[in-house]
Amino acid sequence: MEEFNNDLHKNNDVKKHLETERASVALDLVQTLLDWKDNQQDEQKVEGGGLFVSRVMNPEIELRWVLDGLHSADIAHVLEGLPLDERLQVWRLVNPSRDGEILLEVSDSVRETLIADMSRQELVSATESLDTDEIAELADDLPREVVEEVAESLPVEEQAQLRAAMSYPDDSVGSAMDFEMVTTRGNMTLEMVLRQLRSMEELPEQTDQIFVVDDAGVLLGSLSLERILINQPDVTVSDVMRHDVLQLSPLDDMDDAAQAFERYDLVSAPVVDSQNRLVGRLTIDEVVDAIREQGESEVLAQVGLKEEQDIFSTVSSAVRNRAPWLLVNLFTAGFASYVASRFGHTVEQIVVLAFLMSIVAGIGGNSGNQTMTLIIRALALGQITPSNIQDLIKKEFTVTSLIGLGGGFIAAIFAYVISNDVALAAVMMAAMVINILVGAAMGMLVPIMREKYGKDPAVGSSVLLTFATDTMGFLIFLGLATVFLL
């Protein structure tokens, strides 16, 4: 018991510094408290009420205290790192007033499990505390009746904003834009603008500029907070505002918007409709989320996984997520093996081929993966166009050829050392060069063709590339060996 209390005191010391520690520390601490709670229950079941257990601190009280001191994003990290039953235990101990903001922070798959555990009234209460753009972000995961009830409680203007935000496609600027912003008129003085700002309880988050509009709401320019501070109070807004402001459309793709934010070092940007009327703004926090989600999606898609898979999802869900492309890979690997089996006589005559052919296939796959990664990144950044694609192909084949010649020469030396056969070394070099070129061709062809036909260029691309380089590697190497060595 004394040892247990010492561990608890250590955890208490950690809790005092959670604000400056990583979210993983919070997860470790919550897991420790959950284990303590489970151990108490088990001990009481065995020994009954006569067992001496410290009543100074209760694990549930400790958990509530820890959770109350955490940032919503850290609580989201904790929930994502717990098995389903423990996740729901912790979720029920979270202050209900924070439910909405935490639902925004967790991944889509984890959010589904939390929403499924909440009553309709709990969902309504959690959603009502959010801004209009945040409600729109959650709307797809909430029951329809909850969204309708929350919408009816909003002011008319916010109802219109909610309908507009929900009408835009996913991954568009309109689905992520913020409706809270500060606007002013061009004929106002900076002193008047300052009084306007001081009259507000707080500025909208990520406010780095004030948008200048006319009486019809048409965007005229922007006024940075810096210009308000460094200019004289009697200067008018129109004299110091910027006219060349990057403007976004609600239908713009979030990937394109993210590139603009990165290129021009933006914190926020106005969103205007077809009549150039200001309808919202896009902020850097939404852009960072979009970049992170896109990066995660591409990494998972390359191996055929759906984005944001809950690591503690049910076995059946995990199997459905992972099995399809693995089955495709099984058939492609089987076909590659079938190709190799057609050259059984060749391998029987020259046994060393069995050791060398995996090198040819593996190097071709690695080279192709390098090319494919570069192409997928270039497609995501919009750097590949019809006018430059020929130059890109020429450059990639030149680079790959040089690498293939260098790698092939080294592989030929290795083949000669273990076989003492010049002809075999020459076949090894030729097969290496040709298969590396095959890998480069597939690394460019697969993502470009998928992009051309409206598919995600990353989905399953590595599986298709491996199929091509393995099959062609075996066919080229063993085919050349059959022709020149037998």
User: What does the pLDDT read at residue 302?
Assistant: 58
Q: What is the pLDDT of residue 321?
A: 66
Mean pLDDT of 315-342: 71
Query: For the segment 302-324, what is each residue's pLDDT rounded down to a tens digit?
Result: 555 655 566 666 666 666 666 67
**Parallel, antiparallel, or unpaired for β 268-272 and 219-224?**
unpaired
Question: What is the rounded CA–CA span in Å between residue 334 and residue 330?
Answer: 6
Half-sphere exposure of 240 (CA within 13 A, CB side): 22
- Print the SS3 string covering 226-266: HHHHHCCCCCEHHHHCECCCCCECCCCEHHHHHHHHHHHCC
Q: What residue type is 304 in one-letter code?
A: G
Residue pLDDT, tens place only, 63-104:
888 888 888 888 888 888 888 888 898 899 899 999 999 999
Measure the CA–CA gap between 6 and 363, rounded to whole angstroms. Answer: 55
pLDDT tens-place string over residues 368-423: 888 888 888 788 767 788 888 888 888 888 998 898 899 889 989 998 888 888 99
Residue whose C-alpha is closest to residue 411's, from 351, 364, 370, 369: 364
Q: What pLDDT, on a 0 to 100 scale, did the predictor assign at position 46?
A: 39
Choose among 369, 379, 362, 377: nearest CA to 462: 369
Q: Rounded to an integer, what distance in angstroms lies between the CA atom of residue 138 and that of residue 357?
A: 52
User: What's residue 54's pLDDT?
Assistant: 43
How much is the pLDDT for 8? 38
Beta bridge partners of residue 281, listed in sequence order: 178, 270
Region of residue 415 (left: phi > 0; alpha: psi -120 to 50; beta: else): alpha
Higher-pLDDT residue of 242, 21: 242
pLDDT band of residue 19 (cuts 50, 70, 90) is very low
pLDDT in tens, 113-143: 999 999 999 999 999 989 888 898 898 899 9
Question: Between these two residues, 339 and 324, which has the higher pLDDT value?
Answer: 339
How far apart, in whole angstroms, are the C-alpha atoms of residue 141 and residue 111?
8
Mean pLDDT for the stretch of residues 220-226 = 94
Please tell me the least confidently modeled range out of 184-193, 217-226, 274-283, 317-326: 317-326
pLDDT given at position 182: 94
**pLDDT value of position 44:** 47
pLDDT(228) > 90 = yes
Tokens 């009259």 belong to residue:
199
The H-assigned helical ranges of 17-58 are 23-47
What is the percent of the chain where pLDDT is above 90?
32
Residues 435-483 have pLDDT tens digits of 999 988 988 988 888 888 877 777 667 777 888 888 888 888 888 888 8
pLDDT at site 9? 43
Cα–Cα dist 43/41, whole Å:
6
pLDDT, position 347: 77
The count of C-alpha atoms lying within 13 angstroms of the C-alpha of 439, restricted to the half-sphere facing its C-beta, is: 30
Confidence of residue 329 (pLDDT cuts 50, 70, 90): low
| DSSP SS3 for 337 | helix
pLDDT at 322: 64
In the prediction, which pLDDT does 312 show? 67
Determine whether 145 is exposed, middle or buried from the number of CB atoms within 10 Å of its CB (0-12, 13-18, 19+). exposed
Q: Distance between CA atoms of 247 and 344, rounded to whole angstroms?
A: 64
- Comparing 169 with 31, which gets the higher pLDDT? 169
Cα–Cα distance measured from residue 207 to residue 395, given in angstroms and rounded to the nearest whole number: 44
Whole-number pLDDT of residue 61 = 79
Average pLDDT over residues 149-154: 90
How high is the pLDDT of residue 379? 80
Residues 281, 271 contacting (CB under 8 angstroms):
yes
- What single-letter DSSP state applies at residue 50? G
Question: Could you give the CA distance from residue 161 to residue 151 in angstroms, rounded to a whole number?
Answer: 10
pLDDT at site 309: 61
Average pLDDT of the chain to the nearest whole number: 82
Q: For residue 473, what is the enclosing H or E element?
A: helix 461-485
> What's the mean pLDDT in 35-47?
56
CA distance 137 to 131: 10
Which of helix, strand or coil describes residue 278?
strand
Higher per-residue pLDDT: 44 or 237 = 237
**Confidence at residue 51, expressed as pLDDT on a 0 to 100 scale:** 35
Among residues of the chain, what percentage have pLDDT more than 70? Answer: 82
Q: How far apart are CA 231 and CA 210, in angstroms?
A: 15
